[in-house]
Chain A
Amino acid sequence: MAEKPREIIKRNLFSENQVLRAILGICSSLAVTNTMRNSLVMGLGLSVVTALSGLTLSAMRHAIPRRVRMLVQTLIIAVYVIFLDLFLQAFLPDISKQLGPYVGLIITNCIIMGRAEAYAQSNPPFPSMLDGLFAGLGYTMVLMMISLIREILGFGSVFGININFVGFETWTIMIMPPAAFFIIGTFIWVMSARVSRRAVDDK
């Protein structure tokens, strides 16, 4: 089953977007989306971890005994998350502080484990890396859309730059947790309505 790179990219960004279609990696996608800067850092961090762990696990796939597979996967993911955490603490200390425990929680983000199980363990290293990278970028894309809505309505700014020229009242609810649930719920609704409509059209 040789999938072309273009197909891998398209599948991960749209048709099988990990957040909207597979409902994976929800915890962090909701918690960090109150500002765009946090979402971008978190999304890129996750993409790098997913890509590298996909690469490593795929390269090692014949050497890992099946029974301890999960343990090895978790360990490798944890190692990359430690790298990421140290990197953020060293170069972006204020974002690292704001993200708090959610950087460490990348270890239990189901997207990484999901890609390792579903793709990396039965495919060669390079496609696995690409698959991981774009699964992560699909996640980043959703995060950016959610945080765009939340930041504009909640703070009146984009990437921390004030765009609230007309001086409208910002919605406090947008920076609070419920808004995240409503926005992601609506996104998933729109996405699955489109998919089911397309399935009806194909018949």
Chain B
Amino acid sequence: MTPNISPFIIFFASIITSNMILSNFLGMCSYLSVSTEYKTATGLGMAVTLVLVLTTVVNWFIYTYVIVPLELIYLQYIIFIMVIAALVQILEMGMDRYTPDLHAKLGIFLPLITVNCAILGVTLFMVIRHYSFLQSLLFALGSGFGWWLAINMLAAIREKMAAVKLPPGVKGPALSFIITGIMAMAFIGFSGIFTIQ
């Protein structure tokens, strides 16, 4: 049942052609609200990538060795969301204890990430597409990088546009959506290089 695609193709495809934000619309809430500054956007991108890889790995093991053998598929949403919430909590406590610098930098983003759809989304895509372990790992890593790339691009453009005079009402989310639309159009140019769906 595992699709016969090289994990590296999945990695690059999830950054470029199946970007989490630009083609799957996942993780929009924090993407829109935390993209006013380039530096903060970088921090959030890093945190999302980290959490994404950790949760996907743990969820893969739980799915393969607990959910499937015990036939708990109907409970999978609850199990996945609990795993994500618990992991984020543990990660935050661990960071606070051992790497206070990193915690000061990423700590504020961690609670936000629990409800980031990209995290649950990657887990659900992994389950629906029956990825193997290596495929899931690189899919999560690529999705994280793709998300990070998109939020950094938006933040950079928004920083540059901060001084521009705009018509009333367009400032804020409406402008972010239109910028993202143009970015998504540019990324369509890559389609055809890889396909993973």
Binding site for B on A (CB under 8 A): 23-24, 26-28, 30-31, 71, 74-75, 78-79, 81-82, 85-86, 100-101, 104-105, 107-110, 113, 173, 176-182, 184-186, 188-197
Contact = CB atoms under 8 A, between A and B. Distances in A.
The 7 A-B residue pairs whose C-beta atoms are closest, nearest first, are A193-B169, A185-B177, A181-B181, A101-B124, A189-B174, A26-B28, A178-B184
Given A110-B115, A186-B174, 7 more contacts: A23-B173, A74-B85, A105-B124, A185-B177, A188-B174, A192-B172, A193-B167
A191 B81 CA distance: 34
The majority secondary structure among interface residues of chain B is: helix
Nearest to B24: A31
Chain B contact residues (Cβ within 8 angstroms of A): what range? Answer: 35 or more
B128 A108 contact: no
Contact of B25 (A30, A113, A193): A30
A178 to B, nearest CB: 4
Contacts of B180: 181, 185
Given A26-B25, A27-B117, A78 B78 contact: yes
Given A100-B128, A108-B120, A113-B115, A26 B174 contact: no
Contact of A82 (B23, B28, B74, B188): B74
A17 to B, nearest CB: 13
B128 to A, nearest CB: 6
B115 to A, nearest CB: 5
B196 interface: no
Nearest to B122: A101
B126 to A, nearest CB: 9
A185 B27 CA distance: 17
Contacts of B104: none
Contacts of B128: 100-101
A190 B169 CA distance: 7
Interface string B68-109: 000000110110011001000000000000000000000000
